[in-house]
């Protein structure tokens, strides 16, 4: 589904350049659930925005289902099957829930009613404007709206950010169900290591733009350096080869 090879990106900083991504290699197949962990500033959002087309990389390649997408504009990537839910959720706050769902809908299996079945709370709030929703409701709406565009690959940037634990569980249960029933490929960037790695078939850890660890979600949950840095409130980073 996605193959990233040797991605590199940097930007000007003072008299030199600061790396954001360095030699990033990722590969996952249709139906995979993939989690990427990293602290703020690690390069996670830059990577996901590179896949969406909001930023460009200086070197390397990205293929979607065998097609090089480097020259595709964001809207063409969306039509090719990339769905994206940014940290800010990106819903239309001046539109109602139902208008949000229909605004970008494409013909296919996802309908407003199916979206309401996935998130019944949205049906209760269907006439409310986007800015009248709670954070959890906005996240539900962002996911449901992305599905209306018929994605093959769903990219989620920090979906648990700012949400109560009960809502986080609901969101992750919905993602797991979508993957199971729809064979939807999921790429999730998160700081909530427990939920991300419990969900992920495969996980990666990024530090300063570099992938330092990879393995199954279960394997990474058991790594002592992951536990220390992400599960036990530790401050040290997960270093390559640790």
* Domain containing residue 221: 29-56+74-231
Q: How confident is the model at residue 14 (pLDDT cuts 50, 70, 90)?
A: low
CATH code: domain of residue 100: 3.40.50.300
pLDDT at 232: 58
Tell me how far CA of residue 182 lies from CA of 31, 175, 201, in angstroms.
8, 10, 16
The tally of CA atoms less than 13 A away on the side-chain side of residue 179 is: 22
Express each pLDDT in 202-211 by its tens digit.
999 999 999 9
In a domain, 63, yes or no: no
Spatial strand order of the sheet with 67-68 comes to 16-28, 2-13, 59-64, 67-68
Q: How many domains does the chain have?
A: 1
Structural domain contains residue 240: no
Q: Would you say residue 132 lies in a domain?
A: yes
Task: Assess whether pLDDT exceeds 70 at residue 233.
Answer: no
Which tens digits make up the pLDDT trace of 106-152? 988 899 999 999 999 999 999 999 999 999 999 999 999 999 999 99
Residue 241's pLDDT is: 40
Residue 135 domain flag: yes
- Whether residue 63 is predicted with pLDDT greater than 50 in this model: the reply is yes
17 found inside a domain? no
Whether 20 maps to a domain, the answer reads no
Report the C-alpha gap between 191 and 162 in whole angstroms. Answer: 11
**Three state DSSP letters for the chain:** CEEEEEEEEEEEECCEEEEEEEEEEEEECCCCEEEEECCCCCCHHHHHHHHHCCCCCCEEEEEECCEECCCCCHHHHHHHCEEEECCCCCCCCCCEHHHHHHHCCCCCCCCHHHHHHHCHHHHHCCCCEHHHCCHHHHHHHHHHHHHCCCCCEEEEECCCCCCCHHHHHHHHHHHHHHHHHHCCEEEEEECCHHHHHHHCCEEEEEECCEEEEEEEHHHHHHCHHHHHHHHCCCCCCCCCCC
3 state SS for 47-108: HHHHHHCCCCCCEEEEEECCEECCCCCHHHHHHHCEEEECCCCCCCCCCEHHHHHHHCCCCC
In a domain? residue 144: yes
Q: How confident is the model at residue 240 (pLDDT cuts 50, 70, 90)?
A: very low
pLDDT higher than threshold 90 for residue 12: no
């Amino acid at each position: 589904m996605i193959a990233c090879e040797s991605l590199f990106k940097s930007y000007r900083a003072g008299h030199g350049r600061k790396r954001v991504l360095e030699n990033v290699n990722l590969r996952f197949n249709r139906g995979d659930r993939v989690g990427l962990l990293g602290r703020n500033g690690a390069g996670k959002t830059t990577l996901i925005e590179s896949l969406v087309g909001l930023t460009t990389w200086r070197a390397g390649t990205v293929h979607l289902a065998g097609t090089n997408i480097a020259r595709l504009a964001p809207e063409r990537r969306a039509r090719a099957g990339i769905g994206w839910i940014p940290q800010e959720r990106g819903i239309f706050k001046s539109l109602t829930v139902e208008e949000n769902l229909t605004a970008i809908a494409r013909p296919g299996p996802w309908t407003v009613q199916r979206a309401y079945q996935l998130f019944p709370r949205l049906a209760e709030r269907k006439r409310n404007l986007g800015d009248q929703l709670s954070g959890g409701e906005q996240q539900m709406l962002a996911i449901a709206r992305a599905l209306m565009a018929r994605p093959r690959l769903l990219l989620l940037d920090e979906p648990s950010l700012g949400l109560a634990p009960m809502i986080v569980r609901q969101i992750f249960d919905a993602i797991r169900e979508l993957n199971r029933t729809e064979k939807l490929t999921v790429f999730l960037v998160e700081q909530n290591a427990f939920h991300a790695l419990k969900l992920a078939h495969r996980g990666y850890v990024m530090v300063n733009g570099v992938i330092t660890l990879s393995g199954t979600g279960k394997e990474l949950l058991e790594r002592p350096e992951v536990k220390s840095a992400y599960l036990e409130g530790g401050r040290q980073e997960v270093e390559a080869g640790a």
